[in-house]
Chain A
Amino acid sequence: MLQNDTDTITGIDVEKVRNDFPLLTRKVFGKPLVYFDNAATSQKPSVVLDALEDYYRRYNSNVHRGVHSLSQEATEAYEEARKKIAAYINAKHSHEIIYTRGTTESINLVAAVFAKEFLKEGDSVLISAMEHHSNIVPWQLVCEEKKAKLEVIGINENGELLMDDFDSKLTGKVKIVAVTYVSNSLGTINPVEEIIAKAHAKNIPVLIDAAQAVVHLPIDVQKLDADFVAFSGHKIYGPTGLGILYGKEEWLNKLPPYQGGGEMIKNVTFEKTTYNDLPYKFEAGTPDVAGAIGLGAAIDYINSLGRDNIFKAEDELLEYAMNALTAVKGLRIIGPLDNRVGSISFLLEGFHPFDVGEILDKLGIAVRTGHHCTQPVMDFFNIPGTVRASLSFYNTKEEIDALVKGLERARVILS
């Protein structure tokens, strides 16, 4: 469902698109900001900021329950956003799009209701060794409660999944597979289509953590045939506080509600409550209306540039960055060298990632340091953490050069 303006890849005029992101003009410690923490959150284009302001200034009201005009307008915009999101990931129905607070809540939702209905003592849940803590802990919690086992697909030294290990652990005891499409700390793109196909051959559903993937790869949930897909709006240029859970209609209908409250009910008496239809069954309480409208605006923005143009620009920048970084003396990439996205984790041999991050910060370069909420990955590589530079299409080659220079500077200062 690619909505390219031109249907051809024309590329991105980076200087022009940078003007769309007001924050990028900032200075930090007197230096022009170089923002390389895009995997944590992306910056927001003006059209998203305008959509938020317009909503609050002109038609802020609660959705779905008001007969008055403002409520109608807000409801329309809110539901229109749902349709845009559904189209963006090629969901069959817009009611397969559940609004949540973020990827974390999306996964917690599935873990909680899936376990309640389908997980029993002696069953297992299969995740991978490169999961973000938010795709580990929710499953750990339900496994503890149900006396089920959490099984983990191993990884190799390049930060890739051991598919043999996956095959051998995909036993009849597995009730659900939950894996990330793209590793946030390693940048690895996982063969999720293969994982889904193999799991489905054994009638096992699959949840895909697409928090990182949704920014850099075209997601087509029907082609993937994923049962659940979780991601956050703020990583694809939308506001914080709104996440998405895609679920196949048949699965969402089979699962019990998550939280109780307003919006998710049809009829309430003290004896019995009947639940609302999809997607509202999973959306208790007043939702993040502004967040949804903001994400809708972000998707419009992506489509206006052309998703393929964005990905092409990112690929070029990634290639440039990998060449530049691997040429830095003593720099070790943690993660694969290809089949990856632009979240580049690395270490400067002999220097603590925290020290490197501190020096880069003082040079105006924002990177992430630490374990990136993937402690098991750091344990696997036996490192205290990494420096992670994560790129976006609005970054420039000059910024990569600034990073390389910053690393050289850090080495001199820290030596």
Chain B
Amino acid sequence: MTINEAQDEIIEEFSFFPEWMDKYEYIIQLAKDLPIIDEQYKTDDNIIKGCQSKVWLHPEYKESKIYFTADSDALITKGLVAMVVRVLSGHTPKEIADAEIYFIDKIGLRTHLSPTRSNGLLSMLKQMKLYAVAYQAKSLQS
């Protein structure tokens, strides 16, 4: 599944939830299903600090692809993190670096990407892209 196919799939899933509360209940369910980051990676180095909630993000590079694991101290943030991980994890650095993330906007959660929301989601997306660019540069060197 490409990054965009994964995004479209999430948009499709959310189309079943016209009510805000249903959307949130689904996000919370996703949060609970998120494979939690290995405790050893929940370090200060891996913290992405938002004003309101914290996100931990750990990348692993295997066979030319990046696999992300993540966690958050807030459940709703964690659900959003789960969706972003689902979309971007398991792709090549180039695919991740070039990806345009539109699903958050389409499912009506655009405000979560605003800097004022400060829940760490926007910073996490930036960090994922930075990792991708770094691995890309590394793979070009070798």
Q: Do chains A and B interact in one complex?
A: yes
Q: Which residues of A contact B (CB under 8 A)?
A: 29, 351-355, 358-359, 362, 369-371, 384-385, 413-414
Interface size on B, residues (CB 8 A): 16
> Taking the nearest CB of chain A, how far is it from the CB of B102, in angstroms?
22
Contact A358 B51 (CB under 8 A): no
With the chains together, A353 CA to B75 CA distance in Å? 10
Interface segment out of the listed B19-27, B34-42, B61-69, B124-132? B19-27
Choice from B21, B52, B73, B75 contacting A362 with Cβ under 8 Å:
B21
Contact A370 B21 (CB under 8 A): no
With the chains together, A29 CA to B24 CA distance in Å? 13
> Taking the nearest CB of chain A, how far is it from the CB of B51, in angstroms?
6
Contact A354 B20 (CB under 8 A): no
Q: Which residues of A contact B96 (CB under 8 A)?
A: none
> Taking the nearest CB of chain B, how far is it from the CB of A382, in angstroms?
13
Scan residues 64-93 of chain B and give those whose CB is less than 8 A from a CB of chain A.
Answer: 73-77
Contact A362 B51 (CB under 8 A): no
Any A CB within 8 A of the CB of B119: yes
Q: Which residues of A contact B76 (CB under 8 A)?
A: 354-355, 358
* Contact count A vs B, C-beta below 8 Å: 40
Q: Which residue of chain B is the closest to A359 with respect to CB atoms?
A: B24
Q: What are 30 A-B contacts with C-beta separation under 8 Å?
A: A29-B20, A352-B53, A352-B74, A352-B75, A352-B77, A353-B52, A354-B53, A354-B74, A354-B76, A354-B77, A355-B74, A355-B75, A355-B77, A358-B24, A358-B76, A359-B24, A369-B52, A370-B51, A370-B52, A370-B118, A371-B51, A384-B52, A384-B53, A384-B73, A385-B52, A413-B21, A413-B24, A413-B25, A413-B28, A414-B28
Contact B73 A352 (CB under 8 A): yes
Q: Which residues of B contact A (CB under 8 A)?
A: 20-21, 24-25, 28, 51-54, 73-77, 118-119
With the chains together, A352 CA to B119 CA distance in Å? 12
Q: Which residue of chain B is the closest to A371 with respect to CB atoms?
A: B51
Q: Which residue of chain B is the closest to A384 with respect to CB atoms?
A: B73
Q: Which residues of B contact A353 (CB under 8 A)?
A: 52
With the chains together, A384 CA to B73 CA distance in Å? 9
Q: Which residues of B contact A371 (CB under 8 A)?
A: 51
Most chain B CB atoms below 10 A, which of A29, A355, A359, A369 = A355
Q: A384-B53, A414-B75 are in contact. Are A354 and B24 (CB under 8 A)?
A: no
